[in-house]
Amino acid sequence: MSEGGSGERRVALVTGGSGGIGSAVSRRLAADGMAVVVHYAGSAASAEAVAESITADGGTALALPGDVAEPEQMTALFDAVEERFGGIDVVVNTAGIMLLAPLAEMELEAFDRMHRVNVRGTFVVSQLAARRLRRGGALVNFSTSVTRLQQPEYAAYAATKGAVEAMTLILARELRGRDVTVNAVAPGPTATPLFTQGKSDELIARIASAAPLERLGTPEDIAESVAFLAGTGGRWINGQVLFANGGIA
């Protein structure tokens, strides 16, 4: 069993926990013995399925809803987690959306949608985590390797993730004395519906071959990085962006 400093079971909240990476993260943290709250915004059935799969494997999990960009809803979510489990030790922000277009053609409405979820949502959840994570806790935000790759059509998306990196690195310094780590994981191309949507098989194969390991990442690859940062082995990693991309950048 994963335990905090007081010997209690550690508790993790995974935003976007029903998504491709979020579900893998939820299952991986549960495998480490954490009680996991699988957050969702739109797909209750998917989140419930993830929670049920964790429970079926002997773990502890429940699915709870909320809009990450709304402070009242996220405060209620944190309240519910604390009421159910007594506290929160790990927060993982996998919730995000990706809309692609050349900068000159990107609709402002699409940019605003991404900013609301990726930037405002990360800010709202990070603020609550900063106030309420227990000692020995960890906050793991999500960036992207595209901030280094500079690929056409990704300007607006990468801009939102650049903001996430800035918040993450500064918050780590602001939490001096709290014994809480704050890091970000920056995946490269990962085989999730978010990545493969709208791409031809030929394009996916070409992207996969770009990495020295000559494959796409898997949600489980990314979950391992999160588990490291959230676990005892990552306690000396703080204020960093971990690029989990197989060497593509």
Q: Is the pLDDT of residue 195 over 90?
A: no
Tell me what pLDDT residue 3 has: 62
pLDDT band, residue 48 (cuts 50/70/90): very high
Tell me what pLDDT residue 191 has: 85
Give the count of beta carbons closer than 10 Å to the beta carbon of residue 121: 26
Once rounded to an integer, what is the mean pLDDT over residues 205-216?
88
Q: Is the pLDDT of residue 42 over 90?
A: no
- Nearest residue to 166 via CA among 119, 109, 217, 211: 119
Strand-pair partners of 141:
184
Domains recognised in the chain with CATH numbers: 11-244 (3.40.50.720)
Average predicted confidence (pLDDT) for the chain: 94
DSSP 192: S
122's CB contacts (< 8 A; 6+ apart) are 68, 93, 96, 141, 142, 163, 164, 167
| Catalytic, out of 111, 123, 157, 243 | 157
Tell me what pLDDT residue 7 has: 60
Q: Is the pLDDT of residue 1 over 60?
A: no
Annotation marks residue 154 as catalytic: no
3 state DSSP class of 236? coil
224's CB contacts (< 8 A; 6+ apart) are 28
**pTM of the prediction?**
0.94
- % of the chain with per-residue pLDDT over 90: 83
Tell me what pLDDT residue 98 has: 92
Kindly provide the residue ranges of all beta strands, DSSP E only, lying in the chain, ordered along the sequence: 11-15, 35-40, 61-65, 88-93, 133-142, 181-187, 241-244
Total length of the chain: 249
Q: How far is CA 107 from CA 69, 154, 202, in A?
A: 20, 13, 27
Once rounded to an integer, what is the mean pLDDT over residues 28-55?
96
